[in-house]
Structure 1
Amino acid sequence: MTGKLNIFFTGATGYIGGSVLSHLLTHKDAAAFHVTALVRSTEKAEKLKTLGVDTIIGSYTDKDLTFLKEAASKADIVFTAVDADALPPAQAILDGLKLKYEASGTPSILIHTSGTSLLLNLNDAQGLHSEHIHYSDLETEKLDALPLTSLHRNVDIPIMEADKAGYVKAYIIAPSVVFGNPKGPLVDRGIQSVHSILTRFLVKAAIARKQGGYVGTGVNKWVAIDVEENADLYLILFDAVRANADKVPRGYYFTENLEFSFIEEAAAISEALVELGVGNSREPSPFTVEEGEKYFGPFLLPVIGANCYAKGDRGRALGWKPQLGKEAYLEYVKSQVKVYLHEE
């Protein structure tokens, strides 16, 4: 590659993507990067420009996605961190990367954001047990056998097929539940979302009912990762593929560093509500059918009743060393109760 490394970035203002971009902008080699980011608003575009980031105004939901194809066709590396289930924009990016390959003969790098929810059996646990298959990101045959109907696989599979076709080198980072308070230049300028999506749903439902809640008996378990430690893996992977992409295994990279049950999370929320003078009891209780439909709907309710066990062995083999565990996660959950009470 000559001149600056051309990087195209989607999801720059999101909770996950914003932290990754902040790490990229503060990288020791940042002066050698030319970053172009997709944003939806002129206001955030102007703020990003103060950080030296070029912008394209647009959205994954636009009818005409030619701008994604064109941006990808100029990129040496693409980071995606938007809708992991949206195939048309993902395909537009792949089409652009194919054009780049046909013109240069060199495959570009794609670091795509998926999610460990691809491992879920949504109709299995319903919050009643914690038994489920454990997956390591080293178990490629086991992961390849996941059905197309699994969450995110409608996008992940075409990306992997593009990798097999040879016109892109694809790395799919699949975060678990992401938590914590992001930091960096995008937060400082009010560009980045700063709240965990799943935590927001659970906390807001608890505030409305004045008590933490869970599905079934709440014994089902998930894994989680701090938002900044999640971003660390993106940059470790980024550095590794820049150094020698052929030596870095392609495919899935899971991010996780703790395991929690939903009844533990609900108990932390209940405790915070009582401490803030709002809660009815320090003990959580199961969501009723009506509450489940009201607060979560038909898609999210099975998700928070399922089990998800993922192990990020590939990232650790590259030197990734996450530190924050369950205590930090539950403290974060409790802190968000105060945040959302203040909003209301």
Structure 2
Amino acid sequence: MAATHTQIFLTGATGKLLPYFHYIHYNVDFILIPGYIGGTILTRLLSHPKFNTFKITVLVRDQAKAKRLETLNITAEVGSHSDLARLEELASNADVVFAAANCDDLEAAQAINKGLKKRKEATGNLPILIHTSGTAVVCDDAAGMTGSEIIYSDANPIQIESLASTQPHREVDLSIVDAGIKGYLRSYIVLPSTVWGLASGPLVDMKLQNPHSQQIPGMIKIGLARGQGATIGQGRNLWPNVEINELGDLYMLLFDAALSNPSVPHGREGYYFGAADEHVLSDIYETVSKELYGNGVGKGVEPTLLTRDEAIKFFGNEWLATKVMGGNSRCRADQPRQLLGWKPEKGTSDMVDSIKAEVEVILARVHETT
């Protein structure tokens, strides 16, 4: 980079609660602040060996959060993801943008793309965009009733390009790849899978980061709300998984590689699946139900079928339940492993074991506030 310091702009470190699972309540809304992945990225940047060469800017929604974040030697700008002009302006001042907020917000993505185009025109250097998508992009319509033999590789751009633009997250991904093809930026799209584990670090301690993921805590909250653990279909569909800290490793490996080596695959070849292992969804449903029952929630240890009306109630629409949670999302993280040296060690058995702690933490928070 031409500048003395690397200018980094990050979205999604804290912010507005995303729609996924946000309507699930059990006497109290016990999701504190979103930013599970974005907060983990920021935590890693704060402890990065080259932190003193970074100038980090994050977008937050209120002045109180901004003041607390600035004690960590970063710049916190007050605004929202819906303020497109502000997003464009902040991106135009950045050498690197980590986009870790709403991966389905096309207008926000386009604003960031426009800002990075301005950065390229002003400096002559190609800025870097590391965008957070998700492996739901490869989901089928199994509705929890069957597995699949189709496995996507992030080293196979032709296979990824075969995905319909109507797939989850795909419209935004395509807009970012297109901006790279037009020469505005170098795009790297990270696609986390079922991310699990409790986040930790200074942002969690300061109550600026949500420590919980979405899928497993979401099913816990559904179980609490309906008084019984739930299953979507028969839970036969397959999803990959990754532990939150090992996902943080992937982001930093990619960040370092993108800064040091412009030939690292980007654009249409720049997909990186955050997938360490694979599980059958029934593993999650059964364990959540068992742990809830052990804590006095439910009439039995076995999960019961989530009805169509419940799917609409808890997910906002039936499609999120059947297409995303009920779909097969099978993929291999070939590029992270082969090109970046990513070596995740935790897998499905560790994920299943972690559910007990998730249930206990969520129940404790409920009991503290009721």
Distance 1:132 1:296, change over 3 A: farther
3-state secondary structure, aligned to 2:13: coil
Equivalent position amino acid for 1:108 in 2: P
1:239 pairs, out of 249, 256, 263, with: 256
Conserved 8 A contact 1:211-1:269: no
2:21 corresponding residue in structure 1: none
Q: Is the 8 A contact 1:223 1:256 kept in 2?
A: yes
Check if 1:290 corresponds to 2:312.
no
Give 1:73 shift.
1.1
**1:160 corresponds to:** 177
Find out whether 1:181 has 2:198 as its counterpart.
yes
2:153: which partner in 1? 136
Verify: 1:322 aligned to 2:323, yes or no: no
Task: Quickly say closer, same or farther: Cα 1:261–1:80, change in 2 above 3 A.
Answer: same
Q: What pairs with 1:259-270 in structure 2 (closer than 5 Å)?
A: 259-270=278-289
The verdict on how the C-alpha distance between 1:290 and 1:158 changes in structure 2, with shifts beyond 3 A counting, is closer
Deviation at 1:16, TM superposition (A): 0.4
Indicate conservation of the 8 Å contact 1:225/1:258, yes or no. Answer: yes
Amino acid at match of 1:203: I
Q: Give the match's secondary structure for 1:171.
A: strand
Aligned positions of 1:2-21 closer than 5 A: 2-13=3-14, 14-21=35-42
CA contact (8 A) 1:213 1:263 kept: no
Distance (whole Å) between structure 1 residues aligned to residue 226 and residue 248 of structure 2 = 34
270, 279, 295: which one aligns with 2:298: 279
- Listed as ranges, the matches of 1:16-95 within 5 Å are 16-62=37-83, 65-95=84-114
Contact 1:263 1:284 in 2 (8 A): no
- Verify the 8 A CA contact 1:132 1:308 in the aligned structure 2: no
CA distance in 1, matches of 2:241, 2:348: 8
How many aligned positions are there?
340
Partner of 2:361: 339
In structure 2, distance between residues paired with 1:32 and 1:23: 14
Specify the code of the residue in structure 1 equivalent to 2:151: H
The RMSD of aligned alpha carbons is 1.5
Give the corresponding residue for 1:225: 242
Q: Given that residues 186 and 266 in structure 2 are in contact (C-alpha distance below 8 angstroms), is that contact kept between their aligned partners in structure 1?
A: no
What TM-score, normalized by structure 2, do the two folds share?
A: 0.88
Where in structure 1 are there 5+ consecutive unaligned residues? none
1:104-163 deviation digits (Å, cap 9, x = unpaired) = 221101101111111112xx2111101252101001001012111111111111111111
The sequence identity of aligned pairs, in percent, is 41
Question: Could you tell me how far apart the structure 2 residues matched to 1:212 and 1:260 are?
Answer: 18
Maintained 8 Å contact 1:106/1:167: no
Aligned to 1:111, which of 119, 125, 130?
130
Asked if the contact 2:5/2:55 (under 8 Å) is kept, the reply is yes
Find the residue that maps to 1:225 and give its secondary structure: strand
| 3-state secondary structure, aligned to 1:6 | strand
In 2, the alpha carbon distance for the partners of 1:261 and 1:290 equals 24
Measured in 1, the distance between the counterparts of 2:5 and 2:264 equals: 23
Contact in 2 for aligned 1:240/1:248 (Cα 8 Å) = no
Q: Distance in 1 between matches of 2:264 and 2:358?
A: 41
- The amino acid that maps onto 1:11 is G
CA contact (8 A) 1:201 1:296 kept: no
Q: Which amino acid aligns with 1:263?
A: S
